[in-house]
Amino acid sequence: PNPNSELKRSPLHATRRRRCTHVISYLFLPRRLPALMDSGECSNSNPSASSPAAAGVWAKLVPADSAYPEVAVAEGDAVVCSLVAPAAGGEELAWCEIRRGGDASSATIRNLSSDAIIVDGRVIQQELVDIKPGSKIVPGPREEGRHLVYTFDITAAKDHDKNNVKILLDIENAKCSICLNLWHDVVTVAPCFHNFCNGCFSEWLRRSSSKSRDKSQSAACPQCRTPVQSVGRNHFLHNIEEAILQAFSSLQRSDDEIALLESYASVKSNLVLGKQKNQSRKRPLPPASDESNDEFPCPQCGTEFAGFRCSPRAAHIQCNGCGGLMPARPNTSIQKCLGCDGSFCGAYWYSQGVNSSHCNLICNQETFRMISQHHISRLPDTLHGGNPYEKDITERCIQKSGKTLQAVISEWIAKFDNKELDRSRLQLNNVEAITSRTYLCNHCYNKFVDFLLYWFRVSTPRNLLPADAADRDSCWYGFMCRTQHHRQDHAKKLNHVCRPTRGNP
């Protein structure tokens, strides 16, 4: 028969409304197939980009023999057909159905032919089988000689990955450390690059300026106390802020809160704060020194303290508290906070006999102490995630025990040292290396206290809880609940000092 003659469709196939994507196999007349393709009988096996079907193409079958075309699989046309040679009737026979799977990198295939097919070396009759990119599919019961081998590939997943880049972000890292809520109109300060709400930082800046006697002195960063040189709106983080609110609508503030923040906001563009000249943080040296103070970055560069003096070109590290410099001495444990890996100078300079009379840019030693040396007389404001009701209950439990807060903390530090507590909830770095002799900054110590008082609360029997707290049910989301931060009735009604149980058996 003439290979260029038009093939006739069977009445059955003519009545079915679908675009059959043709799979050209070696079945029956393998040598006639190139002529059939040349005649235009397989024009739909690679649709043009302008056709409606091409717009929905999400996967393809790639033949092992490059002489044959790829087979496109579209959203609205899951059935794949084989074009049988004229000697066999010239029909399009449906042999499989391919549909998307549960995720972007999987799919399912169902055999629709009267014979078996082979998927990844497995003979398939009529059952539904999972496939993935790279799966080998043979439209017949045998691989040798008669059938073309196809490789399954997903094209839409690649384009989807290019256009949708996912960023993993801990919500806690997207909160303003002043109001403890998600940023609103976020601004970034330099040189420390901490982020705050525009309204929160503007109000902080206003109050700092009103209290400062030296109007030319830069305000300190609310989070790390580093002198702020400039501040500006961060449009990239603003987009992340909006994406978070779309995903977690419960973090949205009330209209009154937003209006108040916007009334405070004064950062409209990049602002440079403080002195514009000589922004060096070089430390002044004692007047008795004959050398110029401006030549030395730290006191030990010009004067020997505690038997140590910096060598020329010695490495220095910057304090996260005051912004000053101290020599980098890796063998000492009193320069780096193990909880946040930040550097703090107070304990180091105290150990070296350097005080504010030698240098006016130095941290107080109380800002960085050994855990066992920290003294606490009041509960941190951030206790239990800032939930005031849980904080009040914990405070009454401590009072009911007849012990002071410091005594309770010391008792639980001993249990911590004895490894009696599960440390997985401790939100600090290097948790397994922390002991009562570890140096922590005040911020990390407050987190440590929060961790200890969490275990104090969960180990307190119900009969020792205050009457208004003893009969409360526990929130499904436990300490991770976000609703407790913006709904007072929910924060008060349910216990949030507990582990999340949502979805657990």
Which of 145-154, 269-278, 375-384 is predicted most confidently? 375-384
Contacts of 162 (CB under 8 A, 6+ apart): none
Looking at the structure, tell me whether residues 351 and 457 fall in a common domain: no
In this structure, is residue 504 part of a structural domain?
Answer: no
Is the pLDDT reported for residue 40 higher than 50? no
In this structure, is residue 122 part of a structural domain?
Answer: yes
pLDDT at site 48? 42
To the nearest whole percent, how much of the chain has pLDDT over 90? 19
d(CA 398, CA 404): 7
User: By residue range, what is the domain housing residue 341?
Assistant: 316-372
Read off the pLDDT of each residue in 363-368 and give the average, rounded to a whole number. Answer: 82
CA atoms within 13 A on the CB side of 303: 20
Looking at the structure, tell me whether residues 244 and 196 fall in a common domain: yes
Number of domains in the chain: 4
In this structure, is residue 202 part of a structural domain?
Answer: yes
d(CA 214, CA 209): 9
Looking at the structure, tell me whether residues 390 and 363 fall in a common domain: no
Of 372, 393, 418, which residue sits at a domain end? 372
pLDDT at site 90? 56
In this structure, is residue 14 part of a structural domain?
Answer: no
pLDDT at site 9? 35
The sign of the torsion formed by the CA atoms of 110, 145, 71, 91 equals: negative
d(CA 187, CA 201): 8
Looking at the structure, tell me whether residues 146 and 187 fall in a common domain: no
pLDDT interval class at 418 (50, 70, 90): very high
| Tokens, residue 429 | 């770095």
pLDDT interval class at 152 (50, 70, 90): very high
pLDDT (tens digit, 9 = 90+) per residue, 316-362?
Answer: 888 887 777 888 887 887 888 989 888 888 888 888 888 766 565 67
Q: Average per-residue pLDDT in the chain?
A: 76
d(CA 182, CA 174): 6
Q: Would you give the end-to-end CA distance of the chain in angstroms?
A: 69
Helix, strand or coil, per DSSP, at residue 111 = strand
Looking at the structure, tell me whether residues 355 and 251 fall in a common domain: no
In this structure, is residue 503 part of a structural domain?
Answer: no
Question: Looking at residue 106, which CATH number applies to its domain?
Answer: 2.60.200.20
pLDDT at site 409? 94
Lowest mean per-residue pLDDT among 15-19, 141-145, 278-282, 418-422: 15-19
Looking at the structure, tell me whether residues 486 and 439 fall in a common domain: yes
Q: Is the peptide bond preceding residue 191 cis, with omega within 30 degrees of 0?
A: yes
In this structure, is residue 139 part of a structural domain?
Answer: yes
pLDDT (tens digit, 9 = 90+) per residue, 51-97?
Answer: 444 557 888 999 988 888 888 888 777 788 775 544 445 567 788 89
Contacts of 265 (CB under 8 A, 6+ apart): 185, 198, 199, 202
In this structure, is residue 163 part of a structural domain?
Answer: no
Looking at the structure, tell me whether residues 195 and 252 fall in a common domain: yes
Question: Looking at residue 263, which CATH number applies to its domain?
Answer: 3.30.40.10
In this structure, is residue 42 part of a structural domain?
Answer: no
Q: Is 114 exposed, middle or buried (0-12, 13-18, 19+ CB in 10 A)?
A: exposed
Looking at the structure, tell me whether residues 344 and 409 fall in a common domain: no
